[in-house]
Amino acid sequence: MFWGSDFAFPIDEHKTMLQDSQRLAAYKKSMKDKVDGKTIIDVGAGTGILSLNALELGAKEAFALEEDFSTYNFVNELIDFPIKDKRLHMINASSFDFNHPITPDLVVSELIGAVGPEEGIVEAFFDLKEKYSSIREFIPTKLDVCYSFFHSDTVESDFESTYQVFSSSLPYLTTENKKELFELMYGQKFLFTEFKEKYVAIEEGICVGYDLGISQCSNFRVSLQIPNKANTLSLFFKVTLDQDQQIILSNCPGSSLHWRTPYLRIPKGKNKAIIEYKHKNNFFFIEWK
Ligand SMILES: C[S@@+](CC[C@H](N)C(=O)[O-])C[C@H]1O[C@@H](n2cnc3c(N)ncnc32)[C@H](O)[C@@H]1O
């Protein structure tokens, strides 16, 4: 028994993911007719839930790769499933270092960040496809990073109250244009909400789309014209688990999935947003013009 720390992927995150029944049902449905008799790789296995579901649905073997030792160890000690004997291989490794001589048929994974590519699904799937030519299918097959411009009174009042707190608590913020500066800095920060309030979408679209297993790198840069009256820009994912059955997960505003929707408050007087993502540093850069 090893006792480790839990900084990489806290256990309460796994609790939240296990409680997201909509997410798990969608994965199960998309695996249903695909995994029988197949060898699967589950990238970023966490609790191993996707591997266990695949084995219940008849998969021949599941290689459950988890790079974080403390998560791997916690789960490996706990699982006492009949399936554990031969068909489930819990492996403490990053998919990028995994080179076992196997012939996998299918890769399943939920390395999906709140905007989409931040957990590295694009690069991980491409790397596995390069290493294992036997792979015929990926779940999910497609990841789109989407945007929505809208107006929200709550975003405005949250900004005003944050500004008041900063302004009254930090007396050294005394430059003449401090509100303007504060607005610009505030506009660089992703905020997160479930968007339970009413909001009026003004314009929606796709920043970038990745074909998983084919797209090599998730870096992107887009320039978006800000529509009149919009004070909020939300960025979110749309993930296609199964194209034919149209099984899609999205944390668009109003969604009931466990991922909250990332959004940015648009500084006043700006009419262009430039959004850049660099996978290497896992970095989003937002410029307002
Ligand atoms: C979002 S969780 C998903 C857990 C589980 N598959 C589920 O659906 O509940 C992602 C997990 O992937 C692990 N991880 C991230 N990148 C990885 C990689 N390239 N190889 C192996 N594990 C990875 C993280 O440590 C984390 O535990």
36-72: per-residue pLDDT in tens?
A: 999 999 999 999 999 999 999 999 999 999 999 989 9
Among 61, 90, 110, the domain-final residue is: 110
Does residue 100 share a domain with residue 165?
Answer: no
Q: Beta-strand (E) ranges in the chain?
A: 39-43, 61-65, 88-91, 106-109, 137-139, 142-151, 191-193, 200-211, 220-225, 232-242, 247-250, 261-265, 272-278, 283-288
Residue 220 sits in the same domain as residue 281: yes
CA 224 to ligand 1 centroid distance, Å: 32
Q: Is 128 a member of any domain? A: no
Q: Are 89 and 62 in contact (CB under 8 A)?
A: yes
Exposure string over 105-119, b if 16+ CB within 10 A, otherwise e: bbbbbbbbbbbbbbb
pLDDT band at 76 (very low <50, low <70, confident <90, very high): confident
Nearest CA, atom 1, ligand 1: 111
Identity of the residue numbered 164 = Q
Residues 97 and 203 in one domain: no
Domain CATH for 151: 2.70.160.11
In this predicted structure, what is the pLDDT of residue 74? 86
91 and 169 share one domain: no
pTM: 0.94
Domain with 63 in it: what CATH number?
Answer: 3.40.50.150
Same domain, 178 and 267: yes
Which of 50, 51, 53, 48 lies closest to 73 in space, CA to CA?
Answer: 48
Report pLDDT for 85.
66
Mean pLDDT value of segment 252-268: 94
Residues paired with 205 in a beta bridge: 147
pLDDT of residue 81: 64
Asked whether 24 lines ligand 1 (CB < 6 A), one says: no
Query: Residues 102, 154: one domain?
Result: no
47 or 83, greater pLDDT? 47
Is a pLDDT exceeding 60 seen at residue 80? yes
Check pLDDT > 90 for residue 5: no
Mean pLDDT, all residues of the chain:
92
Pocket test residue of 50, 111, 257 for ligand 1, highest count of atoms within 8 A of CB? 111
The pLDDT of residue 196 is: 72
- Domain span at residue 226? 144-288
- Based on the fold, state whether residues 106 and 227 are members of the same structural domain: no
Cα 47 to averaged position of ligand 1 atoms, centre (Å): 9
**The pLDDT of residue 263:** 95
Residue 239 lies in a domain: yes
Q: Long-range pairs for 44-47 at CB < 8 Å and ≥24 separation?
A: 44/95, 44/109, 44/110, 44/111, 44/119, 44/124, 45/75, 45/90, 46/9, 46/14, 46/17, 46/71, 46/75, 47/14, 47/17, 47/18, 47/71, 47/75
Closest-CA residue, ligand 1 atom 9, reads 17
224 pLDDT above the threshold of 60: yes
Please say if the pLDDT value at position 4 is more than 70.
Answer: no
Residue at 189 is within a domain: yes
Same domain? 106 vs 153:
no
Reported as a single tens digit per residue, the pLDDT across 115-159 is 999 999 999 999 999 999 999 999 999 999 999 999 988 899 999
**pLDDT tens digits for range 160-219:** 999 999 988 887 776 778 888 899 999 999 999 877 766 778 999 999 999 999 999 999
| Same domain? 152 vs 282 | yes
Q: Is 124 inside a domain boundary? A: no
pLDDT of residue 198: 66
Count CB neighbours of 272 within 10 A.
Answer: 11
Does residue 1 form part of some domain? no
Which of 86, 110, 134 finishes a domain?
110
Percent of the chain with pLDDT over 90: 78
From the CA of 96, give the closest atom in ligand 1.
19
**Residue 164 domain flag:** yes
Q: Per the structure, how many domains does the chain have?
A: 2
Asked if residue 83 has pLDDT above 70, the reply is: no
